[in-house]
């Protein structure tokens, strides 16, 4: 049967089902294929917070959203063009994210009385007219999956687990994608079980062939490759990029990398990833708790390695005293906080930007340190690399903030040339005639790094206040005041070593949108729309949050209004108002999801006084 082929610039697809339906795998496979075909993309895995929630309930729905295209893709999409729903709970939980007249593909076999009741529905949405504003395709996914492997005598439970590959095959057909990438994945993943390879491959082909033969689909779609800068790319998740950035920094510095960590969502994947890199001299230690994790990393830095620890907000709270110890010891330490929804356990699988104030000031005593933040999944590599560079140069802990969105999201990453990465020189103290443990470099105010056991370089260490130069324990009030100010000045001098802040758009005008972290894509997308409509709006995005770039105040004062969108209740805005006395305006949504670019766009129009922007 002839099909119309329509070319699209970009598409957003959301796969949704039970947490056991393999939606993350399905989305990841579609993502990897899109990346291999040269599309630019951005993803949003959406995990349920409940562990083993009852099957068929809204609590256990797992989603994966991918926005891919032939243009510059900055966000995972405000709304979806296509929703693939494997059961009623997945449909009702995610249909609100579908655009008007969008496409719904449902597994009609799952819309039975039991599943409707589990989802809290009294009527069947496939029959009650509630989906009339969408294009709905009812596909017997479970039945067709079973038919594809009926002769293999497999258990009903196993057959049910393969139905995600039917949905994947159908979407591959609809968007003119090859099956090769996923077939290679199946063969590699299940190489020890030929029967599993055969079953999953058959079901994948069955989904593709269903689209090709059934008469309900009259259109296929094509999304051409994006025009990316020349170079070698790979699809990368933020946590993987963070792991690689730590390894690259350690190698560039000529140090061993030691990660002391305790598993916590959504940071655990960094530990998992680094544990596979022993061939690069990486040592990983899964500690018994968060305190042991950071203390082991401090010990590694004391011994002359690049110590690092990874965690999320609740873990940062437990690490606080030890962070103060690292500040007092003045040792390099990279602390990665993959932020999640809080407070307390909060929304453990959702994203948030609410740990900024905790990072900047959330310790007892005057305990300043450097704080920087990654803006995209690929940017996690460069940001944590920079954290390591600054930590070593200034002999101080550095907090690198990411969040659940950038950590679990993915995008194409232009693999850098190792020779192009900034140098990270390391000098260990060796001269016993001139060594003083708390002597200072005139430029950076950093103290010398002395490896324990070096003859003649014995010195005191610990959490009690240090005497200037000697490092001896000292309770003198004037010495304490001096050391407090000295450690603060050292952090401020980092501003001399970081780039000046840049502005996208006009350098002065009516409105500057100032952001940090994972709001980058949403802000940039919103501003692109506003500027295309003829309005002058500029964008500055911060990587360096403590200290701020030296020219930030100069930039802010050139704009009549400053808007600061954040996934918190207003934290950067407090720091900006306090330091620069700028009456900035906040735009704050704390829903466990990335900010939507259309909402930021509307806020910009409201500030500009434009009606129905």
Confidence class for position 50, pLDDT limits 50, 70, 90: confident
Distance between CA atoms of residues 264 and 85, nearest Å = 29
Supply the DSSP symbol for 395: T
45 pLDDT more than 60:
yes
Supply the DSSP symbol for 110: G
Instruction: Write out the two tokens for 517.
Output: 């972290």
State residue 613's pLDDT score. Answer: 58
Distance between CA atoms of residues 50 and 60, nearest Å = 6
State residue 52's pLDDT score. Answer: 76
Pairing of strands 509-516, 538-542: parallel
1 pLDDT more than 80:
no
CATH 3.40.920.10 region(s) of the chain? 4-222
- Name the residue with tokens 């105040």: 553
Instruction: Write out the two tokens for 58.
Output: 């809204």
Helical segments of 410-538, H only: 477-492, 520-532
Q: How far is CA 322 from CA 118, 264, 317, 489, in A?
A: 46, 18, 10, 21
Helical segments of 275-332, H only: 290-302, 313-329
Instruction: Write out the two tokens for 227.
Output: 């025009």
Average pLDDT of the residues in 350-375: 97
Partner residues linked to 401 by β-bridges: 337, 373
Average pLDDT of the residues in 462-480: 96
State residue 478's pLDDT score. Answer: 98
- Name the residue with tokens 């007892």: 364
State residue 48's pLDDT score. Answer: 87
Which helix (H) or strand (E) segment holds residue 157: the answer is: helix 156-161
Supply the DSSP symbol for 486: H
What's CA 402's distance to the chain center, in Å? 6
Could you report the per-residue pLDDT of 234-284, keeping only the tens digit for each?
999 999 999 999 999 999 999 999 999 999 999 999 999 999 999 999 999
CATH architecture, domain 4-222 = 3-Layer(aba) Sandwich (3.40)
Could you report the per-residue pLDDT of 432-456, keeping only the tens digit for each?
999 999 999 999 999 999 999 999 9
Contact 308, 334 (CB under 8 A): yes
162 pLDDT more than 70:
yes
Average pLDDT of the residues in 419-429: 96
CATH 3.40.50.920 region(s) of the chain? 509-608
User: What number does CATH give the domain 234-420?
Assistant: 3.40.50.970
289 pLDDT more than 60:
yes
Contact 31, 41 (CB under 8 A): yes
Q: How far is CA 280 from CA 237, 249, 318, in A?
A: 20, 12, 30
Could you report the per-residue pLDDT of 89-134, keeping only the tens digit for each?
999 999 999 999 999 999 999 999 999 999 999 999 999 999 999 9
C-alpha dihedral sign at 201, 204, 210, 212: negative
Confidence class for position 562, pLDDT limits 50, 70, 90: very high
297 pLDDT more than 90:
yes
Cβ-based neighbour number of residue 318 at 10 Å: 17
- Name the residue with tokens 């979806």: 80
CATH 3.40.50.970 region(s) of the chain? 234-420
CATH class of 509-608: alpha beta
Indicate the average pLDDT of the chain. 96
Could you report the per-residue pLDDT of 578-608, keeping only the tens digit for each?
999 999 999 999 999 999 999 999 999 999 9
**What is this structure's pTM?**
0.95
Distance between CA atoms of residues 303 and 493, nearest Å = 26
């Amino acid at each position: 049967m002839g099909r119309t082929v329509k070319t699209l610039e970009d598409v957003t697809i959301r796969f949704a089902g039970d947490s056991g339906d393999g939606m993350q795998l399905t989305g990841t496979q579609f993502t990897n294929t899109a990346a291999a075909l040269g599309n630019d993309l951005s993803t949003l895995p959406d995990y349920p917070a409940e562990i083993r929630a009852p099957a068929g309930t809204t609590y256990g729905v797992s989603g994966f959203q991918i926005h891919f295209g032939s243009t510059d893709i900055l966000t995972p999409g405000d709304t979806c063009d296509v929703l693939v729903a494997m059961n009623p709970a997945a449909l009702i939980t995610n249909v609100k994210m579908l655009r008007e007249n969008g496409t719904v593909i449902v597994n009609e076999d799952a819309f039975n009385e039991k599943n409707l009741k589990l989802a809290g529905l009294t009527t069947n949405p496939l029959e009650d007219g509630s989906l009339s504003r969408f294009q709905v395709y009812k596909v017997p996914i479970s039945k067709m999956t079973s038919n594809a492997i009926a002769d293999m005598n497999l258990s009903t439970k196993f057959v049910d687990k393969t139905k995600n590959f039917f949905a994947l095959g159908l979407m591959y057909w609809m968007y003119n994608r090859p099956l090769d990438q996923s077939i290679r994945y199946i063969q590699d993943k299940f190489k020890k079980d030929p029967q599993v390879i055969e079953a999953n491959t058959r079901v994948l082909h069955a989904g593709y062939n269903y689209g090709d033969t059934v008469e309900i689909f009259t259109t296929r779609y094509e999304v051409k490759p994006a025009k990316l800068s020349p170079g070698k790319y790979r699809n990368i998740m933020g946590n993987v990029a963070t792991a690689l950035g730590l390894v690259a920094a350690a190698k560039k510095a000529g140090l061993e990398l030691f990660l002391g960590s305790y598993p916590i969502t959504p940071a655990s994947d960094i530990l998992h990833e680094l544990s596979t890199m022993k061939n690069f001299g990486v040592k990983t230690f899964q500690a018994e708790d968060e305190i042991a994790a950071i203390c082991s990393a401090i010990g590694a830095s004391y011994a002359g390695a690049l110590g690092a620890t990874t965690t999320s907000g609740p873990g940062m709270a437990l690490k606080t005293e030890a962070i103060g110890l690292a500040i007092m010891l003045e040792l390099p330490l990279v602390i990665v906080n993959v932020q999640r929804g809080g407070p307390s356990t909060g929304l453990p699988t959702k994203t948030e930007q609410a740990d900024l104030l905790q990072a900047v000031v959330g310790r007892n005593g005057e305990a300043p340190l450097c704080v920087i933040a990654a803006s995209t999944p690929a940017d996690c590599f460069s940001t944590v690399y920079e954290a390591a560079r600054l930590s070593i140069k200034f002999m101080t802990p550095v907090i690198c903030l990411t969040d659940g969105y950038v950590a679990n999201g993915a995008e194409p990453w232009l693999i850098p040339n190792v020779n192009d990465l900034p140098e990270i020189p390391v000098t260990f103290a060796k001269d016993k005639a001139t060594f003083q443990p708390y002597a200072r470099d005139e430029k950076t105010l950093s103290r010398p790094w002395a490896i324990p056991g070096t003859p003649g370089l014995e010195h005191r260490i610990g959490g009690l206040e240090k005497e200037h130069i000697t490092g001896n324990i000292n309770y003198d009030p004037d010495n304490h005041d001096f050391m407090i100010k000295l450690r603060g000045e050292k952090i401020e001098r980092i501003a001399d070593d970081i780039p000046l802040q840049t502005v996208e758009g006009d350098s002065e005008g009516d409105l500057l949108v100032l952001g940090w972290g994972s709001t980058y894509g949403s802000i940039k997308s919103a501003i692109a729309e506003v500027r295309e409509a003829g309005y002058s709006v500029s964008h500055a995005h911060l990587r360096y949050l403590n200290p701020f770039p030296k020219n930030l105040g100069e930039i802010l004062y050139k704009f009549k209004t400053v808007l600061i969108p954040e996934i918190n209740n207003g934290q950067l805005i407090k720091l900006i108002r306090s330091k620069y006395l700028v009456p900035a305006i906040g735009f704050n949504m704390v829903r466990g999801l990335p900010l939507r670019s259309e909402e930021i766009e509307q806020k910009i129009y409201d500030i500009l006084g434009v009606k129905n922007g």
